[in-house]
Amino acid sequence: MPLDARHPAIELEDVSFSYRPRQPVLTGVDLAVEEGEFVAVAGPNGGGKTTLVRLALGLARPQSGTARLYGEPARSFSRRDALGYVPQRAQLGTQGPVTVREVVSAGRLARGSLLGPLRRGDRAIVDEAIADVGLTALADAPLGNLSGGQQQRAFIAKAFAGEPSLLVLDEPTAGVDAESQDALARLLDRLRRDRRVTTLYVSHEFGAVEDIVERLVLVRGGIVFDGPPRTLPAEWHDPSHAHARD
């Protein structure tokens, strides 16, 4: 069943959230991300980016306000298989030696309708996702043998393998070299053009995607800027300002 295109992919209305009483992390957040948009979410460490993403995906409950995905309450969204989420510092648990291909295949299985072994078409999609992140040569290597950046790319491939309508990447470039960051940015741009994948790219710095995104959302206890990156006030470029709460 296609997703309901009459509604924004993500919709937060006057959302406030705190982990502890009287210590608000986010206040009065309004955000609508339309289908097919590529949005960078930036801001200082501790500003609330990860929290905002978790609220948007229905993984945390706002103290006040509403969060919707494609028009449905985010907490009870019926099409989880349409979401690709790479959490910050995605890490393998203690499941023992798992190969890159197995991790990425799990992203294909998670699509829901599939039971049993992957079909040939699914295997091709898994291979393509592995190639997209440049890990073909390491496809059958245990994930534990890979560098942090390579592991991160494997988790990104896992999300790709589910062919999501909405892709949310939280700090996908932590530990990833500049060349791979650029490659990822180009890949995300292509996915948006070819498949209209709605993308939320969360990073405390957005240099790698600055030329690609049409919209930048700055999060610091709330949304303090929302617009094209080129219209970002100079004060927000100031590193001392951006990292004031580090």
Binding site for ligand ADP (CB under 6 A): 19, 25, 43, 45-51
* Choice between 48 and 107, CB closer to ligand ADP: 48
C-alpha neighbours within 13 Å on the C-beta side of residue 243: 5
Tell me which of Mg ion, ligand ADP, none is bound by residue 47, counting a contact when its beta carbon lies within the kind-specific cut-off of 5 to 8 angstroms. Answer: ligand ADP
Closest CB to ligand ADP among 71 and 221? 221
Closest CA to 8 of 65, 81, 55, 71: 71
Count the residues of the shown chain that bind Mg ion, applying the rule CB under 5 A.
3
User: From the CB of 141, what's the least distance to ligand ADP, in Å?
Assistant: 30
82 DSSP 8-state letter: G
Among 50, 105, 180, 199, indicate the residue that binds Mg ion (CB under 5 A): 50
Kindly tell me which of 70 and 85 has the beta carbon lying closer to ligand ADP.
85
Q: Please, what is the minimum distance in Å from the beta carbon of residue 50 to ligand ADP?
A: 3
What residue 33 binds from ligand ADP, Mg ion, none (CB within 5 to 8 A, per partner kind)?
none
3-state secondary structure of 210: coil
Q: What is the DSSP string of 89-157?
A: T----S----BHHHHHHHHHHTTSS--SSPPHHHHHHHHHHHHHTT-GGGTTSBGGGS-HHHHHHHHHH
Closest CA to 217 of 226, 228, 205: 226
Q: From ligand ADP, Mg ion, none, which one binds at residue 48 (CB under 5 to 8 Å depending on kind)? A: ligand ADP
- The alpha carbons of the chain give a radius of gyration, in whole angstroms, of 18
Smallest gap from Cβ 42 to ligand ADP, in A, equals: 9
For residues 154 to 193, the per-residue mask of contacts with Mg ion, x marking binding by CB under 5 A and - elsewhere, is: ----------------------------------------
Report, in Å, the least distance between residue 88 CB and Mg ion. 5
Tell me the sheet residues that pair with 226.
217
Sheet holding 38-42, edge to edge: 83-86, 166-170, 198-202, 38-42, 215-219, 223-227
50 or 151, CB closer to ligand ADP? 50
CB of 40 to ligand ADP, least distance (A): 13
Angle, nearest 10°, between helix axes 120-132 and 148-161? 140
- Bridge partners of residue 11, in order along the sequence: 32, 68
Residues in contact with Mg ion by CB under 5 A are 49-50, 88
